[in-house]
Amino acid sequence: MKVLLLQFKRPLINFLVTYHKELERKVGNANSLLDVGCGSDSPIKYFKKKNGFALGVDGFEPSIKESRQKRIHDEYRCMDLLEIEKEFGANSFDCVLSSDVIEHFPKENGLKLIYQMESIARNRVIIFTPNGFVPQYEHSGNPLQRHQSGWTSEEMLNLGYDVIGINGWKPLLIEGALTKYRPHLFWIIISRFTQFLVRNHPKHAFQMLCVKTFWQDTA
C-alpha cells in the first residue's frame, strides 16, 4: 500500500509544481548564476546540483543566514539589491535570476533593477513575478516582503522578454498562490489543469516567467 501511495504521490507533485520545471529549463546549462533577492528558500534548490557556481544576494540578513544553512548557493552577499551593478561587473554571470523580487519595489526602482540585471548577465535574465498587482504585506519580521508594484505581461513583452504563464488561471488564486476556494487540494488540481491553457497566454495567468536571452549557451 505504501508503495502504491508513493507511486501516486510523485506524479501528483510533478503535476502540481510547474514553476520549478519551467525555471530549470530556462536556466539551462548556465555555468554561473546570480540569484538576486534569493531569500531563504530559492527555487534553484531543486536543480542547483545540475549547474555551476551560484551566488545569492539578498537585503535581509536572516534570509541569507537561513539559505546558507541549507547550502542552496555557493556564496552569499547581503546588500541593497539596487547596488548590484556596483558590486558585479558587466557580463559577469551567465544567468541572472530574480524570483518574486521586482514586485517588492516601486515601479521606477523595479525597472532600475531590471536594467542592472541585464548589464550583469552574459546570456540571459530570468524574472518571475505575479501578473498584475497582488497585495502582500510584511511578514516573518521582514519589511521587504511588502509588494509595492504590479507588472503585466504586456509590460514585460515591451521590455523584450518572452513571457510564460505560470500557476494557472489568475481568478482562482490569491496572495501566496493559494486557492480562493475549498477544498484547497481540489482547487489546486483544477488550477494546475488550467496551466495548459495559460502557459502561452500569460495575460490570463496568475504569475509570469519572463526570459530575455542575449545569446545561447554553447555548453
Residue 8 has pLDDT above 60, yes or no: no
Q: What is the pLDDT of residue 17?
A: 57
Outline where DSSP puts E strands in the chain: 32-36, 53-58, 75-78, 93-99, 121-130, 162-169, 173-174, 178-179, 205-213
Torsion of CA 145, 147, 153, 155, to 10 degrees: -120
Q: What is the pLDDT of residue 219?
A: 45
Residue 115 has pLDDT above 90, yes or no: yes
What cell does 19 get? 514553476
SS3 121: strand
Question: Where does 107-213 have alpha helices with state H?
Answer: 107-120, 153-158, 184-193, 195-198
Residue 10 has pLDDT above 50, yes or no: no
What is the Cα–Cα distance from 44 to 98, expressed in whole angstroms? 11
Q: What is the pLDDT of residue 5?
A: 34
Residue 6 has pLDDT above 50, yes or no: no
Portion of the chain with pLDDT greater than 70, in percent? 90
Q: Which residues have CB under 8 Å from 137's CB, separation 6+?
A: 145, 146
Whether a cis peptide bond, with omega within 30° of 0, leads into 183 is yes
Which of 61, 63, 130, 57 has its CA nearest to residue 96?
57
pLDDT interval class at 217 (50, 70, 90): low
Residue 199 has pLDDT above 50, yes or no: yes
Residue 69 has pLDDT above 80, yes or no: yes
CATH number corresponding to 30-37+52-136+143-151:
3.40.50.150
Domain ranges of the chain: 30-37+52-136+143-151
SS3 44: helix
SS3 113: helix
